[in-house]
Each structure stands twice: as structure tokens, then as C-alpha cells.
């Protein structure tokens, strides 16, 4: 009986022994314990580029329509609709902000103003 009891208790206790440390537990990591810089090759996991299937498009609810507001933007990363309904676009590749204005209300940008020479243009806030 005892021969079965001890292994069974070890199996039952294993999850408790392997549990994550309690919140607030402090750990000390010393620089000498870390691997040297570039000790291992860098990992890369880029996204696969997949071609758009033929006939793919937007599926809109009945009565809705989609129009192209602006084109010719270079790597737009983020946008912000301003109080005057113009749109501020952060173009990351060339570190610039572009303001798009729909002056006649037809849903297409009629004018654009570009401010170059920003650093790391990730998005307007």
C-alpha cells in the first residue's frame, strides 16, 4: 500500500511545486548571469505576404458604400480626424505628417498639406 501511496502523492504535489511565484516576488538578475551580446543569432519571424484572392473586396451592410478618400500616401501608419473634419496622417517611412482636407464634402480629399522632417512618425495623438 505504501509503495503506491508515495508515488501517487508526488504526482499530486507536482503542480503545486511547479506553480508560478506569488505576485510581488522579487528576483535578482545579475549582469554576469546574462549571455554576452550577440552570443546567439537573432530570431526573425516576418509576416508572409499573401496575394489578394481574385474577387476579394469589402463586404458592407446594405445601404453602405465605400469610397477612396485619398491615395498616394507612403506607409501611412496612423490617422487622426481633427475637429474641422480634416484628417492628419502619419507617414512613417518618410517621417512626415500629411493633412488631408475634403473641402467640398464629397468624401474625397481635395487638398493635402505635408510637413516633413519629423523623427519616427508613429502617429498623431
In a domain, 60, yes or no: no
In a domain, 1, yes or no: no
In a domain, 82, yes or no: yes
Global model pTM greater than 0.75:
no
Per-residue pLDDT of the chain (125 residues; tens, 9 = 90+): 667 777 777 777 777 667 788 889 998 999 999 989 889 888 888 899 999 899 888 889 999 988 899 999 988 888 999 999 999 998 887 788 899 999 998 999 999 998 877 666 555 66
In a domain, 115, yes or no: yes
Number of domains in the chain: 1
In a domain, 21, yes or no: no
In a domain, 97, yes or no: yes
In a domain, 96, yes or no: yes
Which residues have CB under 8 Å from 99's CB, separation 6+? 82, 86, 87, 88, 89, 112, 113, 114, 115
In a domain, 63, yes or no: no
pLDDT at 73: 92
**In terms of residue numbers, what domain contains 109?**
69-119
Amino acid at each position: 500500500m505504501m509503495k503506491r501511496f508515495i508515488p501517487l502523492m508526488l504526482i499530486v504535489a507536482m503542480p503545486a511545486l511547479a506553480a508560478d511565484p506569488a505576485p510581488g516576488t522579487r528576483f535578482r538578475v545579475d549582469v554576469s548571469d546574462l549571455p554576452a551580446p550577440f552570443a546567439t543569432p537573432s530570431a526573425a519571424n516576418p509576416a508572409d505576404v499573401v496575394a489578394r484572392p481574385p474577387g476579394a473586396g469589402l463586404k458592407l451592410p446594405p445601404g453602405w458604400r465605400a469610397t477612396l478618400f485619398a491615395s498616394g500616401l507612403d506607409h501611412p501608419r496612423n490617422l487622426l480626424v481633427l475637429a474641422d473634419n480634416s484628417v492628419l496622417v502619419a507617414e512613417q517611412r518618410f517621417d512626415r505628417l500629411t493633412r488631408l482636407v475634403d473641402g467640398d464634402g464629397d468624401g474625397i480629399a481635395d487638398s493635402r498639406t505635408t510637413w516633413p522632417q519629423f523623427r519616427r512618425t508613429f502617429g498623431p495623438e
